[in-house]
Amino acid sequence: MGVIRQVWPIERGLDDQDLEQLYRYPDGRRWVAVNFVSSADGAITVEGRSAALSTPADRIVYRLGNDLADVVLVGAGTAMAEGFEGMRPDERTAERRRRFGLAPVAPVAVVTTGRSLPPDAPVITKAAVPTLVFTCEAAPESLRAEWTANGARVFVTGSVAVSPTQVIETLAAEGLSRIDCEGGPRLFGSLIEAGEVDEYRLTVAPFLVAGTASRAALGAPIDPAELELASVLTDGASLLLRYLGRR
Protein backbone atom coordinates (compact mmCIF):
# COMPACT_ATOMS: atom_id res chain seq x y z
CA MET A 1 0.00 0.00 0.00
CA GLY A 2 1.20 3.49 -0.81
CA VAL A 3 0.92 6.48 1.49
CA ILE A 4 -2.65 7.76 1.74
CA ARG A 5 -2.95 11.16 0.11
CA GLN A 6 -5.83 13.57 -0.22
CA VAL A 7 -6.35 14.55 -3.86
CA TRP A 8 -9.49 16.69 -3.40
CA PRO A 9 -10.36 19.39 -2.38
CA ILE A 10 -6.62 20.01 -2.00
CA GLU A 11 -3.64 17.74 -2.63
CA ARG A 12 -1.66 16.85 0.46
CA GLY A 13 -0.09 13.97 2.29
CA LEU A 14 -1.90 12.74 5.40
CA ASP A 15 -0.54 11.47 8.69
CA ASP A 16 -2.54 9.66 11.38
CA GLN A 17 -3.70 12.89 13.01
CA ASP A 18 -4.87 14.32 9.67
CA LEU A 19 -6.91 11.16 9.07
CA GLU A 20 -8.43 11.34 12.53
CA GLN A 21 -9.56 14.90 11.89
CA LEU A 22 -11.07 13.99 8.51
CA TYR A 23 -12.98 11.01 9.89
CA ARG A 24 -13.98 12.32 13.31
CA TYR A 25 -17.65 12.95 14.03
CA PRO A 26 -18.90 16.52 14.56
CA ASP A 27 -19.12 17.62 18.18
CA GLY A 28 -22.43 18.48 19.82
CA ARG A 29 -24.85 16.85 17.40
CA ARG A 30 -26.02 13.42 16.33
CA TRP A 31 -24.30 12.16 13.19
CA VAL A 32 -24.88 9.02 11.13
CA ALA A 33 -21.93 7.95 8.98
CA VAL A 34 -22.47 4.93 6.70
CA ASN A 35 -19.45 2.87 5.60
CA PHE A 36 -19.20 0.56 2.60
CA VAL A 37 -16.48 -0.93 0.43
CA SER A 38 -17.30 -1.70 -3.19
CA SER A 39 -15.50 -3.23 -6.14
CA ALA A 40 -14.95 -0.96 -9.12
CA ASP A 41 -17.98 -2.58 -10.78
CA GLY A 42 -20.24 -2.06 -7.77
CA ALA A 43 -20.19 -5.35 -5.85
CA ILE A 44 -20.22 -5.06 -2.06
CA THR A 45 -19.51 -8.72 -1.26
CA VAL A 46 -17.65 -11.75 -2.55
CA GLU A 47 -19.39 -14.99 -1.58
CA GLY A 48 -21.59 -13.06 0.83
CA ARG A 49 -18.85 -11.21 2.73
CA SER A 50 -17.06 -7.91 2.30
CA ALA A 51 -13.64 -9.00 3.59
CA ALA A 52 -12.31 -10.01 0.16
CA LEU A 53 -12.90 -6.47 -1.14
CA SER A 54 -11.27 -4.64 1.76
CA THR A 55 -7.85 -3.13 1.05
CA PRO A 56 -5.19 -1.83 3.47
CA ALA A 57 -6.39 1.75 2.95
CA ASP A 58 -10.02 0.71 3.46
CA ARG A 59 -9.12 -1.02 6.71
CA ILE A 60 -7.54 2.19 7.99
CA VAL A 61 -10.67 4.31 7.42
CA TYR A 62 -12.98 1.48 8.50
CA ARG A 63 -11.13 1.36 11.80
CA LEU A 64 -11.37 5.12 12.20
CA GLY A 65 -15.13 4.85 11.69
CA ASN A 66 -15.68 2.63 14.71
CA ASP A 67 -12.72 3.89 16.78
CA LEU A 68 -14.22 7.40 16.83
CA ALA A 69 -17.89 6.39 17.19
CA ASP A 70 -20.12 6.10 20.24
CA VAL A 71 -21.90 3.09 18.75
CA VAL A 72 -21.67 0.75 15.75
CA LEU A 73 -25.02 0.24 14.00
CA VAL A 74 -25.57 -2.86 11.87
CA GLY A 75 -28.36 -4.93 10.39
CA ALA A 76 -28.84 -8.40 11.83
CA GLY A 77 -28.20 -10.16 8.52
CA THR A 78 -24.87 -8.41 8.13
CA ALA A 79 -23.95 -9.06 11.77
CA MET A 80 -24.53 -12.78 11.25
CA ALA A 81 -22.88 -13.00 7.82
CA GLU A 82 -19.79 -11.09 8.93
CA GLY A 83 -19.52 -12.87 12.29
CA PHE A 84 -19.80 -9.72 14.42
CA GLU A 85 -18.80 -10.30 18.04
CA GLY A 86 -18.72 -6.69 19.22
CA MET A 87 -15.82 -4.28 19.54
CA ARG A 88 -12.60 -5.31 21.29
CA PRO A 89 -10.25 -2.32 21.29
CA ASP A 90 -6.53 -2.98 21.08
CA GLU A 91 -4.02 -0.64 22.71
CA ARG A 92 -4.01 1.78 19.78
CA THR A 93 -7.79 2.03 19.64
CA ALA A 94 -8.03 2.38 23.42
CA GLU A 95 -5.56 5.28 23.35
CA ARG A 96 -7.41 6.94 20.49
CA ARG A 97 -10.75 6.66 22.27
CA ARG A 98 -9.24 8.12 25.44
CA ARG A 99 -7.92 11.13 23.52
CA PHE A 100 -11.34 11.79 22.01
CA GLY A 101 -13.17 11.38 25.34
CA LEU A 102 -15.06 8.25 24.26
CA ALA A 103 -16.15 5.26 26.31
CA PRO A 104 -13.56 2.45 26.35
CA VAL A 105 -15.74 0.15 24.20
CA ALA A 106 -18.36 1.15 21.64
CA PRO A 107 -21.47 -1.03 21.89
CA VAL A 108 -23.05 -2.60 18.82
CA ALA A 109 -26.66 -1.75 17.95
CA VAL A 110 -28.39 -4.42 15.84
CA VAL A 111 -31.56 -3.83 13.82
CA THR A 112 -33.84 -6.82 13.24
CA THR A 113 -37.47 -7.75 12.72
CA GLY A 114 -36.60 -10.95 14.58
CA ARG A 115 -36.19 -13.52 11.84
CA SER A 116 -32.45 -13.04 11.23
CA LEU A 117 -31.11 -12.72 14.79
CA PRO A 118 -31.07 -15.95 16.83
CA PRO A 119 -30.96 -15.55 20.61
CA ASP A 120 -27.44 -17.00 20.75
CA ALA A 121 -26.03 -14.72 18.03
CA PRO A 122 -22.33 -14.00 18.68
CA VAL A 123 -22.99 -10.26 18.47
CA ILE A 124 -25.05 -10.71 21.65
CA THR A 125 -23.37 -13.53 23.54
CA LYS A 126 -19.73 -12.61 22.84
CA ALA A 127 -19.94 -8.82 23.11
CA ALA A 128 -17.73 -7.12 25.71
CA VAL A 129 -20.51 -4.64 26.56
CA PRO A 130 -24.27 -5.19 26.22
CA THR A 131 -25.53 -5.15 22.65
CA LEU A 132 -28.54 -2.97 21.84
CA VAL A 133 -31.18 -4.82 19.82
CA PHE A 134 -33.74 -2.70 17.95
CA THR A 135 -36.78 -4.65 16.86
CA CYS A 136 -40.51 -4.25 16.28
CA GLU A 137 -43.74 -5.46 17.85
CA ALA A 138 -43.95 -8.23 15.24
CA ALA A 139 -40.96 -9.99 16.81
CA PRO A 140 -42.21 -12.69 19.21
CA GLU A 141 -42.11 -11.69 22.87
CA SER A 142 -40.41 -14.99 23.66
CA LEU A 143 -37.54 -14.12 21.30
CA ARG A 144 -37.20 -10.65 22.81
CA ALA A 145 -37.03 -12.26 26.23
CA GLU A 146 -34.25 -14.62 25.06
CA TRP A 147 -32.21 -11.71 23.68
CA THR A 148 -32.56 -9.99 27.05
CA ALA A 149 -31.68 -13.13 28.98
CA ASN A 150 -28.48 -13.43 26.92
CA GLY A 151 -27.39 -9.93 27.87
CA ALA A 152 -28.86 -7.62 25.22
CA ARG A 153 -30.80 -4.43 25.84
CA VAL A 154 -33.93 -4.66 23.69
CA PHE A 155 -35.84 -1.68 22.27
CA VAL A 156 -39.14 -1.93 20.36
CA THR A 157 -39.20 0.82 17.73
CA GLY A 158 -42.05 0.12 15.36
CA SER A 159 -45.00 -2.19 14.79
CA VAL A 160 -44.31 -4.43 11.77
CA ALA A 161 -40.96 -2.87 10.84
CA VAL A 162 -38.21 -1.07 12.72
CA SER A 163 -38.37 2.72 12.44
CA PRO A 164 -34.87 3.99 11.51
CA THR A 165 -35.69 7.45 12.85
CA GLN A 166 -36.72 6.01 16.22
CA VAL A 167 -33.50 3.98 16.28
CA ILE A 168 -31.36 7.10 15.73
CA GLU A 169 -33.39 9.14 18.24
CA THR A 170 -33.13 6.38 20.86
CA LEU A 171 -29.38 6.06 20.39
CA ALA A 172 -28.96 9.82 20.76
CA ALA A 173 -31.11 9.76 23.92
CA GLU A 174 -28.78 7.06 25.26
CA GLY A 175 -25.83 9.42 24.74
CA LEU A 176 -24.71 7.54 21.61
CA SER A 177 -24.91 10.32 19.04
CA ARG A 178 -21.81 9.49 16.93
CA ILE A 179 -23.17 6.57 14.94
CA ASP A 180 -21.06 4.38 12.66
CA CYS A 181 -23.36 2.35 10.40
CA GLU A 182 -21.72 -0.66 8.76
CA GLY A 183 -24.65 -1.96 6.69
CA GLY A 184 -26.23 -3.97 5.40
CA PRO A 185 -27.99 -2.76 2.27
CA ARG A 186 -31.55 -2.86 3.65
CA LEU A 187 -30.60 -0.92 6.77
CA PHE A 188 -28.77 1.63 4.60
CA GLY A 189 -31.79 1.87 2.29
CA SER A 190 -34.14 2.48 5.22
CA LEU A 191 -31.86 5.22 6.57
CA ILE A 192 -31.79 6.88 3.15
CA GLU A 193 -35.59 6.73 2.88
CA ALA A 194 -35.92 8.27 6.36
CA GLY A 195 -33.43 11.04 5.57
CA GLU A 196 -31.09 9.93 8.34
CA VAL A 197 -27.77 9.71 6.47
CA ASP A 198 -25.38 12.54 7.31
CA GLU A 199 -22.26 11.09 5.72
CA TYR A 200 -21.49 8.30 3.27
CA ARG A 201 -17.98 6.85 3.34
CA LEU A 202 -17.28 4.69 0.30
CA THR A 203 -14.10 2.85 -0.57
CA VAL A 204 -13.85 1.91 -4.24
CA ALA A 205 -11.51 -1.07 -4.29
CA PRO A 206 -9.42 -1.98 -7.38
CA PHE A 207 -11.28 -5.19 -8.25
CA LEU A 208 -13.82 -6.41 -10.80
CA VAL A 209 -16.25 -9.02 -9.47
CA ALA A 210 -19.30 -9.34 -11.79
CA GLY A 211 -21.68 -12.00 -10.47
CA THR A 212 -24.88 -11.14 -8.60
CA ALA A 213 -23.55 -9.38 -5.52
CA SER A 214 -25.91 -6.84 -3.94
CA ARG A 215 -25.60 -3.07 -4.21
CA ALA A 216 -24.91 -0.89 -1.16
CA ALA A 217 -28.51 0.23 -0.58
CA LEU A 218 -31.78 -1.65 -1.09
CA GLY A 219 -35.34 -0.58 -0.35
CA ALA A 220 -38.13 1.64 -1.56
CA PRO A 221 -37.15 3.93 -4.45
CA ILE A 222 -36.88 7.63 -3.65
CA ASP A 223 -36.20 10.76 -5.62
CA PRO A 224 -32.40 10.92 -5.93
CA ALA A 225 -30.96 12.39 -2.75
CA GLU A 226 -28.16 14.79 -3.64
CA LEU A 227 -24.82 14.43 -1.88
CA GLU A 228 -21.96 16.87 -1.44
CA LEU A 229 -18.44 15.54 -2.07
CA ALA A 230 -16.33 16.26 1.03
CA SER A 231 -12.99 14.59 0.30
CA VAL A 232 -11.21 12.17 -2.03
CA LEU A 233 -8.24 10.14 -0.79
CA THR A 234 -6.13 7.49 -2.49
CA ASP A 235 -3.21 5.21 -1.74
CA GLY A 236 -2.54 4.76 -5.44
CA ALA A 237 -4.96 1.85 -5.76
CA SER A 238 -8.14 2.41 -3.74
CA LEU A 239 -10.32 5.52 -3.79
CA LEU A 240 -11.65 6.68 -0.41
CA LEU A 241 -14.67 8.95 -0.88
CA ARG A 242 -16.58 10.97 1.70
CA TYR A 243 -19.97 12.44 0.82
CA LEU A 244 -22.16 14.61 3.02
CA GLY A 245 -25.93 14.28 2.91
CA ARG A 246 -28.09 17.34 2.38
CA ARG A 247 -30.93 17.47 4.89
Q: What Rg, from alpha-carbon coordinates, does the chain have?
A: 18
Q: What is the pLDDT of residues 52-89, one digit of tens each?
A: 999 999 999 999 999 999 999 999 999 999 999 999 99
Is 106 part of any domain?
A: yes
Domain limits for position 89: 29-245
Q: What is the pLDDT of residues 20-52, one digit of tens each?
A: 999 999 998 999 999 999 999 999 999 888 999
Is 2 part of any domain?
A: no
Is 15 part of any domain?
A: no
Is 167 part of any domain?
A: yes
The model's pTM is 0.95
Band (pLDDT 50/70/90 cuts) for residue 246 is confident
* Total domains, the chain: 1
Is 12 part of any domain?
A: no
For residue 97, give the CATH number of its domain: 3.40.430.10
Q: Which of 148-175 are b and which e, b meaning 16 or more Cβ less than 10 Å from the residue's Cβ?
A: eebebebbbbbeeebbbebbbebbbeee
The pLDDT of residue 1 is above 70: no
